[in-house]
Amino acid sequence: MDKSEAKIILQAYRANGADATDPHFTEALQLAGIDAELKAWFAEQQAFDRAISAKLRSAPVPADLRASILAGRKVVPAPIWWRRPAALIAVVAAMLMLLAIPFMLQTRNTPQFSEFKRDSMSFLDSLNKLDMSSKDHETVRAWLAAHGGHKQFSLPTQLGGKPSLGCRIFEWKGNKVTLICFNTTVGKKFEEVHLLVVDERAIRNRPPEGKPVFESNGEWDTASWRDDGLAYVLFGHAKNHGKLEQLF
């Protein structure tokens, strides 16, 4: 930096010292500290600026200006509350909260999928009758359609080829549940699986869509999945472990 550049930069240095910590001036100030001619020039500049600044800051202002501004304010309409972004956001948030409350309450009261599985196992443990009996899937569907069951249920690929035993409709926590039993016997040993179907909206923490999750739960093995608005749990006896996977 030469003296000419330093002078241009130092012209922007306020005489009240407000720019003392601005690094933009550091080099020019350092140069002014070691160059006698620049130092004298800068001192004279600062004195001139101080004097001008003091004069301009004391230049008279019309006596009635302040009163005019304040009086004028009284005829300026206050901003309409709903045009204020903060107010608008607050109102929208409150409305969303109000709309969300029933949903939140409903969600809080919605049982977990794990509860559904647990209660279903208890139900199966004590299962001793079906509402109807048929080995034909279409007959079962027709009966379910006539009695308010889940007639649109879909079946895993291999299970679709197994004959049904029958079905039953029951209520669980205010929700309709459809039970369809299948004969999965291979060879001489009788085997069965039980498919429970419920609307997915009736439960929280639902199983994944499409792909089944296999688990072992004591005496039962389970496969759980969702498809087209319905949640499914397929129960097989644990003593036939590994058979559920073969039904998909």
Residues within window 13-32 making contact with another protein, judged by CB under 8 A: 14-16, 18-19, 22, 24
When the beta carbons of 48 and 158 are compared against another protein, the nearer one is 48
Q: How far is the CB of 35 from another protein (least distance, A)?
A: 16
When the beta carbons of 56 and 98 are compared against another protein, the nearer one is 56
**Interface with another protein includes 65 (CB under 8 A)?**
yes
Looking only at the bridges linking them, the beta strands covering 220-227 and 213-217 are antiparallel
**Interface with another protein includes 47 (CB under 8 A)?**
yes
Task: Give one DSSP letter per residue of 168-236, joined into a string.
Answer: EEEEETTEEEEEEEEE--BTTB--EEEEEEEEGGG-BSPPPBSS-EEEEETTEEEEEEEETTEEEEEEE
Binder among 61, 98, 157, 171 for another protein (CB under 8 A): 61
Binder among 26, 27, 30, 66 for another protein (CB under 8 A): 66
Task: Give one DSSP letter per residue of 107-171, joined into a string.
Answer: HHHSPBHHHHHHHHHHHHHT----SEE-S-HHHHHHHHHHHTS-TT----TTGGGSPEEEEEEEE
Contact residues for another protein (CB under 8 A)? 4, 7-9, 11-12, 14-16, 18-19, 22, 24, 44, 47-62, 65-66, 68-70, 72-73, 76-79, 84-86
